[in-house]
Chain A
């Protein structure tokens, strides 16, 4: 059974840093592109970042230069390092797995975690 379990969400002051983790199990982690998608309270879905085939990384304009996506295939864990956090980064952050193996970043996610809440406030 595919499982994705996010952790690391908490309350952080503006300008601070945080690292989110997503522990994956039930599939060959290294074969799949993985993404982070966030949802601000009461708002819609917003794509954040994807790490795809060959560890190519892609970022939304709103987070490029502040966030870094990475993965540890030996630990089957996806990460999101978030720096210079702002109030508008407040959201539930979901990690998600692509529907197909070895995608170049353009395959939709079919498995999602339950999310972890990041709150940026002083």
Chain B
């Protein structure tokens, strides 16, 4: 089955740029989606189809996808961005959703 690999943790100072990666075999050929989840809350979709943002998501959140790596970029990081972030793809070969293991973003 398709595997998505995320770093367990990323740390960044306020105002800096955070980059969270999601690795997968030829992931550039798939649509990647990203979710933010804060403790005790449901996930929130922050980027879909590699680089689109749902309404209400700040422009500070952006995504890219090429080759074997997709990246969620958060510009001008704020304390409120501290959360777990998950990437997701649809594995069309077996009609399954696949989530990455999640990355804990810490704002120093």
Contacts and interface: CB of A to CB of B under 8 A. Distances in A.
A47 B98 contact: yes
B95 interface: yes
B42 interface: yes
Interface residues of B, number: 25
A45 interface: yes
Contacts, number: 53
Interface string B78-108: 0000001010101010011111111000000
A58 B96 contact: yes
| Number of chain A interface residues as a range | 20 to 34
B97 A47 contact: yes
B90 A106 contact: yes
B20 to A, nearest CB: 14
Interface stretch (A23-31, A69-77, A82-90, A111-119): A111-119
Interface of chain B, helix or strand or loop or mixed? strand
Contact of B101 (A44, A109, A113): A44
Contact of B96 (A45, A47, A108, A113): A47
Interface of B: 1, 31, 33, 35, 37, 41-45, 48, 54, 84, 86, 88, 90, 92, 95-102
19 contacts: A35-B97, A44-B100, A45-B88, A45-B102, A46-B99, A47-B96, A47-B98, A47-B99, A58-B95, A61-B96, A94-B42, A106-B92, A108-B45, A110-B45, A110-B48, A110-B54, A112-B44, A113-B42, A114-B41
